[in-house]
Chains A and B, each alone.
Chain A
Amino acid sequence: MAETPLVRAAGLGKSFRGRRSTTQAIADIGFEQAPGEFLGVVGPSGCGKTTLLRCLAGLERPDTGTVEFDGRPVTGIPDAVSVVFQDYHRSLFPWLTAGENVRFPIRDRGRAAGREQAREALDRVGLAGFADHHPFQLSGGMQQRVAIARAIVSRPRFLLMDEPFASVDAQTRAVLEQLTVTITAELGLTVLLITHDIDEAILMADRVLVLSARPSRVLREVPIDLDRPRDEVETRALPLFQDYRREIHRVIANPGTAD
């Protein structure tokens, strides 16, 4: 990688000690991510993807290894890092309206400025007229849009997303995937998207990190050389897309033969 990486993880390992047994979630994960790069992370469910994200966000301390953000070791939650959690419907503040949820990260910026920036963020996700709605009045897809608006309103440099579209219908999902790619590209955001959906990773990412089953390690890094913008239907039909798809499926199915 020519550029200095924005994110660097090396030798990450993480176990959870239970009362009876210990679960090793991550065996050994290391990677680098360049500024502005869109990295997809795929792996079977339960392999430690969420745990990895939590280590990267400073929410969890790895047992071994280090995470560096912008050249500095991550010990707490860095200011310039934002997260969209898997359970967006549980992570929106139900007592606040959509507009107030989006204003939450920027409450220090003064009333007028905060309102304006929140309005702009809601605009970006296509929810211009919904600032006064409470989360329960919005559909799942709209709630996820609010979560995305809230995650980008403070102009973070690194956005972590944990299976953000896992619980919306296929139609909404395709729309939200496009929306996320467009917005993060416009803002020049560095994004790490966790998903168990290989197609989604190929459609959205510049590079895909393939993780093994638990305890996870990196099986392969697959750079995705597909032109952008990537129309969902057209891109899926490309032979190159099919090749990536086949490669990643094979790596996951036969981890032993990787490399």
Chain B
Amino acid sequence: MKGLAGFAALVGLWELLRSAHVLPPGSAPASVDIARALGNPDLPGATAGTLIAWAAGLLLAASIGIPLGVLLGLSRWVDAALTATVDFLRPIPAVALIPVAVVVIGLGAGMQALLVGFACLWPLLISTRFGVRDVDPLLTETGRVLGARGLRLAATVTVPAALPSIRTGLRTAASLGLVVAVATELATGSPGLGWFIAQQQQAGQIPAAYAGIVVAGLLGYLVHLVTS
């Protein structure tokens, strides 16, 4: 309810700024027009495009980042061997890789998923690693005394104990992944919300461009709801 009130206040502020000519009416369409543009027939397809790239990238990142993070957390040896590489790759913004990715992999959904995956990998990897390292040794010792060793111990004790941390990483990765998915579409024209927004803007369909932005925001909000 509070969220809804906040949203209504935002719409009110938008209309207020428009009528006070703080926002130029030409580039800031009325909220009714934006709402009407939400019915644009291309919008569902664009939304689906973004969602698919996002989900594929996140899945890719999780399937590499979580097991690798567990390994880094468990083995000091592997951790020492990979830390320098991780610390070098991690600060590279995924969007900075777009031009390279286009040249090397070419345009397409695969390239987009890879970029999203690259961005999502680091928060997942790092928080899994720290989560595993922070597991109370008494818990793993208890697991060992109760007969769990090796992989089994990791699966039945270490990972469940580190789950709160892993979930935090997943939440960060999910939000970041959406940003990278939309940015990639804007820059490369991969089908999705980013491309929809750019197209509508170029065609002078300003309300539709805003409708795309609203849907992107809504997706971000949904992702936040689902992961927390």
Contacts of A150 in B (CB 8 A): 146
B138 contacts A87, C-beta separation under 8 Å: yes
Contacts of B156 in A (CB 8 A): 104, 107
Size class of the A contact interface (CB-based, 8 Å): 10 to 19
- A59, A104, A107: which contacts B141 (Cβ < 8 A)? A59
Closest residue to B146 on the A side, CB-wise? A105
**At the interface, yes or no: B147 with Cβ under 8 Å from chain A?**
yes
| Docked complex Cα distance between A131 and B179 (Å) | 44
**At the interface, yes or no: A167 with Cβ under 8 Å from chain B?**
no
- B138, B148, B163: which contacts A85 (Cβ < 8 A)? B138
**At the interface, yes or no: A64 with Cβ under 8 Å from chain B?**
no
**At the interface, yes or no: B104 with Cβ under 8 Å from chain A?**
no
Given A95-B160, A95-B163, A104-B156; A90-B147 close (CB under 8 Å): no
- A77, A91, A104, A154: which contacts B138 (Cβ < 8 A)? A91
Docked complex: A54-76 residues within 8 A CB-CB of B: 57, 59
| Docked complex Cα distance between A258 and B62 (Å) | 63
Least Cβ distance of A252 to chain B in Å?
Answer: 28
Total chain B interface residues with beta-carbon distance under 8 A: 16
B161 contacts A77, C-beta separation under 8 Å: no
**At the interface, yes or no: A130 with Cβ under 8 Å from chain B?**
no
A95 contacts B139, C-beta separation under 8 Å: no
B136 contacts A77, C-beta separation under 8 Å: no
Least Cβ distance of A102 to chain B in Å?
Answer: 10
A154 contacts B141, C-beta separation under 8 Å: no
**At the interface, yes or no: A259 with Cβ under 8 Å from chain B?**
no
Given A93-B160, A95-B160; A79-B139 close (CB under 8 Å): no
| Docked complex Cα distance between A81 and B156 (Å) | 20
**At the interface, yes or no: A33 with Cβ under 8 Å from chain B?**
no
| Docked complex Cα distance between A150 and B147 (Å) | 12
Contacts of A87 in B (CB 8 A): 138
A57 contacts B138, C-beta separation under 8 Å: no
Docked complex: A86-134 residues within 8 A CB-CB of B: 87, 90-91, 93, 95-96, 104-105, 107
| Docked complex Cα distance between A85 and B139 (Å) | 10
**At the interface, yes or no: B144 with Cβ under 8 Å from chain A?**
yes
A104 contacts B146, C-beta separation under 8 Å: yes
**At the interface, yes or no: A83 with Cβ under 8 Å from chain B?**
yes
Contacts of B96 in A (CB 8 A): none
Least Cβ distance of B167 to chain A in Å?
Answer: 12
Contacts of B226 in A (CB 8 A): none
- B139, B145, B157, B163: which contacts A77 (Cβ < 8 A)? B145
| Docked complex Cα distance between A95 and B158 (Å) | 11
Least Cβ distance of A250 to chain B in Å?
Answer: 35
- B139, B143, B144, B148: which contacts A90 (Cβ < 8 A)? B139
Interface pairs A-B: 4 shortest CB-CB: A105-B146, A91-B142, A83-B145, A95-B160
Given contacts A77-B144, A104-B148, 18 further A-B contacts (CB under 8 A): A57-B145, A59-B144, A77-B145, A79-B147, A82-B146, A83-B142, A85-B138, A85-B141, A90-B136, A91-B138, A91-B142, A93-B160, A93-B161, A104-B146, A104-B156, A107-B156, A150-B146, A154-B147
